[in-house]
């Protein structure tokens, strides 16, 4: 989903930063997986050509840039992009900003020319700039361990060159040199100093990663909806064929063909909102409640929608099934699930195995319709919330028609129609939905 790159001069601590960032992502977030890579690729012929061009110093800066770009473009579209499309996050030690600095600034080729050469490569969603004093960097480069891992030659092993490289990163990533198109779209964090303890370095990197991901930025290289479709298909496949486990309270996978149960979608949404509002009214004024008022809110929609396709799940399994788009934090998941179990009675919680700490959560059968509906209308949730807030006196059955006719959400409307082809129409007698007008009819009947 996101491409995160780690940049900085030689010996600055990029390898350690890559390790720390990947560990934080693995532990705290809900990506399908965390993939670690680096450039140039030492195990690939294109990467070796780029490395040899630097070691032998027989190529012009433009030729060097071309070799690095060839490796990068192949890496981008042959290895990185397919993983991003599956909801994975990729952490790359070095990427395009290295070329912009080494060939563009230090080599004198110019960042615009280097950007042009690399224009077919992916744009990093986030670049983390790691920095340290050149004297420290030289000591690391000359240490046996780093030399063994990086195979650096004397080309890099001068303090003066490291100072030039550091200045190049500072000029480009701090904004003194204008970032060239299209690489100006990505976020940049730094400089993150690596001159203190590893503990302090880890603390700073962790805070930066949390801040970036909690803001839920739109990925630059893939569409979130394509990731969602992949995740939904994967979840449907994994849930098929699951059988009842005797004595554990887990029912077989629910039948999803007629999941609307002959109730109009608008009515499902309205009635569920009424039930939720009633449950909220039982909470006293002095109780702290971290549960949203609208059932269209991200947390309620995500939990109910995901559980609609799962027989049961503990919080870790639920978060894994949500994937990166529908993801919730561990603590917020627990709070919302607790409310649904103890207040609204939408979720049944039980411990399936003796001595197991993590409670399993099962969406009650009567909430299956709502959960499936939330998965279908996920792209239009915000549009529906806004419409309901702006039209409190208008009947909700007219919401979809007015949203479609407004022309404000054409992509979201199309994505909702695509989701119906994956999740089913919920009505056994429904015809195929191909046009926005069909979606309006489906919503009202």
Picking from 421, 444, 387, 412, the residue whose alpha carbon sits closest to that of residue 232 is 421
Q: How many CB atoms lie within 10 A of CB 267?
A: 15
Residues 23 and 320: their CA atoms lie apart, in Å, by 16
Name every residue whose Cβ is closer than 8 Å to that of residue 196 and which is 6 or more positions away in sequence: none
Q: What is the mean pLDDT of residues 164-186?
A: 95
pLDDT at 154 (0 to 100): 43
Say what the pLDDT of residue 58 is: 85
CA dihedral in degrees (78, 81, 85, 89; nearest 10)? 120
| Whole-angstrom distance, CA of residue 162 vs CA of residue 165 | 5
Q: Please answer whether residues 98 and 38 qualify as being in contact, where contact means their C-beta atoms are separated by less than 8 angstroms.
A: no
Of 3, 167, 149, the residue nearest 80 (C-alpha): 3
Task: Taking residues 133-156, report their average pLDDT.
Answer: 61
Does 43 score more than 80 pLDDT?
yes
Confidence of residue 60 (pLDDT cuts 50, 70, 90): confident
Nearest to 228 by CA among 144, 312, 321: 321
Say whether pLDDT at 248 is over 80. Answer: no
Q: Give the number of residues written for the chain.
A: 445
Q: Which residue has the higher pLDDT, 55 or 401?
A: 401
Domain ranges of the chain: 3-209+217-222, 225-444
Specify the pairing of strand 89-93 against strand 34-38. parallel
pLDDT at 314: 93
Instruction: Determine the Cα angle at 139 with ends 161 and 102, to 5°.
Output: 30
Fold of 3-209+217-222: Rossmann fold (3.40.50)
The residue to which tokens 């920095």 are assigned: 131
Q: Residue 149: what pLDDT? A: 43
Given a cut of 80, is residue 253 above it in pLDDT? Answer: no
Q: What is the DSSP letter of 425?
A: -
CB-CB contact of 85 with 222 (8 Å): yes
Residue 134 — pLDDT band, cuts 50, 70, 90?
confident
The predicted-structure confidence for 404-430, as pLDDT tens digits, reads as follows: 999 999 999 999 999 999 999 998 776
What does the pLDDT read at residue 150?
A: 46
Q: What is the pLDDT of residue 157?
A: 58
pLDDT band at 234 (very low <50, low <70, confident <90, very high): very high
State the average pLDDT over residues 137-162: 61
Region of poorest pLDDT, from 46-55, 231-240, 386-395: 231-240
31 with 3: CB under 8 angstroms? no
Q: Which helix (H) or strand (E) holds 206?
A: helix 198-214
Higher pLDDT, 29 or 431: 29
Ranges assigned E (strand) in 283-399: 347-350, 360-363
Residue range 356-410, pLDDT digits in tens: 567 899 999 999 999 999 999 999 999 999 999 999 999 999 999 999 999 999 9
Rounded CA-CA distance 12/97 in Å is 15
What percentage of residues in the chain have a pLDDT greater than 90? 77
Residue 11's pLDDT band, with cuts at 50, 70 and 90, is confident
Measured between alpha carbons, how far is 435 from 442 in angstroms, rounded to an integer? 11
- Asked whether 230 and 48 are in contact (CB, 8 A), the reply is no
**Which range among 10-14, 202-206, 232-236 has the greatest average pLDDT?**
202-206
Q: What percent of the chain has pLDDT over 70?
A: 91
Provide the mean pLDDT of the chain: 90
Nearest to 124 by CA among 160, 167, 93, 162: 93
- Report yes or no: 351 and 359 within 8 Å, Cβ to Cβ: yes
pLDDT digit string, tens, across residues 258-316: 899 999 999 999 999 999 999 999 888 777 778 999 999 999 999 999 999 999 999 99
Give the CA distances from residue 64 to residues 51, 154, 411, in Å, rounded to whole numbers and listed in that order.
9, 17, 42
- How confident is the model at residue 371, as a pLDDT? 97
The C-alpha atoms of residue 186 and residue 123 are separated, in whole angstroms, by 7
Residue 53 phi, psi (nearest 5) = -65, -35
Q: Going by C-beta distance under 8 Å and a sequence separation of 6 or more, which residues neighbour residue 11? A: 132, 136, 137, 138, 139, 140, 141, 146, 162
Q: Is the pLDDT of residue 152 over 80?
A: no
Q: Name which of 292, 268, 270 is nearest 280 in CA terms.
A: 292
- In which band, very low, low, confident or very high, does the pLDDT at 352 lie, cut at 50, 70 and 90? low
pLDDT digits (tens, 9 = 90+) for 220-229: 999 999 999 9
Res 254: pLDDT: 58
Spatial strand order in the sheet of 89-93: 34-38, 89-93, 3-7, 126-131, 187-193
pLDDT digits (tens, 9 = 90+) for 376-388: 999 999 999 999 9
| Cβ contacts of 310 within 8 Å, gap of 6 or more | 235, 239, 317, 318, 321, 363
The confidence score (pLDDT) of residue 256 equals: 62
Q: Judge whether residue 219 has pLDDT over 90.
A: yes
Tokens of 134: 């050149």
Residue 5 β-bridge partners: 92, 127
């Amino acid at each position: 989903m996101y491409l995160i790159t780690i940049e900085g001069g030689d010996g600055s601590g990029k390898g350690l930063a890559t390790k720390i960032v990947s560990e934080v992502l693995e532990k705290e977030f809900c990506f399908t997986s965390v993939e670690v890579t680096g450039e140039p690729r030492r195990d690939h012929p294109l990467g070796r050509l780029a490395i040899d061009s630097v070691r032998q110093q027989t190529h012009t800066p433009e030729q060097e840039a071309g070799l690095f770009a060839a490796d990068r473009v192949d890496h981008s579209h042959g290895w990185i992009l397919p993983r991003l499309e599956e909801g994975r996050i990729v952490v790359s030690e070095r990427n395009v900003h290295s070329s912009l600095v080494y060939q563009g600034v230090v080599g004198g080729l110019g960042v615009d020319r280097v950007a042009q050469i690399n224009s077919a490569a992916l744009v990093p969603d986030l670049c983390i700039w790691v920095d340290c004093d050149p004297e420290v960097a030289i000591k690391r480069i000359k240490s046996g361990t780093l030399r063994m891992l990086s195979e650096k030659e004397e080309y890099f092993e001068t303090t003066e060159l490291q100072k030039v490289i550091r200045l190049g990163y500072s000029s480009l990533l701090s904004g003194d040199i204008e970032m060239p198109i299209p690489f100006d779209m990505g976020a940049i964090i730094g400089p993150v100093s690596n001159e203190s303890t590893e503990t302090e370095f880890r603390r700073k990197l962790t805070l930066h990663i949390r801040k970036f991901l909690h803001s839920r930025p739109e990925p630059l290289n893939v569409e979130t909806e394509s990731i969602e479709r992949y995740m939904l298909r994967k979840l449907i496949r994994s849930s098929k064929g699951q059988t009842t486990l005797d004595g554990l309270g887990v029912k077989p996978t629910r039948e999803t063909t007629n999941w609307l149960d002959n109730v109009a979608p608008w009515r499902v949404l309205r009635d569920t909102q009424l039930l939720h509002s009633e449950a909220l009214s039982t909470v006293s004024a002095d109780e702290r409640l971290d549960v949203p008022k609208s059932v269209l809110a991200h947390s309620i929609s995500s939990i109910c929608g995901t559980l609609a396709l799962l027989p049961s799940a503990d919080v870790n399994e639920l978060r894994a099934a949500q994937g990166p788009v529908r993801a919730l934090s561990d603590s917020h998941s627990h709070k919302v699930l607790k409310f649904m179990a103890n207040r609204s009675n939408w979720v049944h919680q039980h411990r399936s195995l003796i001595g197991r700490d993590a409670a399993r959560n099962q969406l009650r059968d009567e909430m299956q319709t709502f959960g499936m509906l939330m998965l279908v209308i996920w792209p239009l949730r915000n549009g529906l919330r806004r419409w309901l807030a702006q039209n409190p006196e208008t009947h909700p059955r007219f919401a979809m028609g007015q949203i479609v006719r407004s022309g404000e959400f054409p992509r979201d409307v199309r994505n909702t129609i695509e989701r119906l082809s994956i999740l089913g129409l919920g009505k056994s007698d429904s015809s195929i939905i191909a046009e926005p007008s069909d979606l309006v009819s489906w919503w009202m009947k």
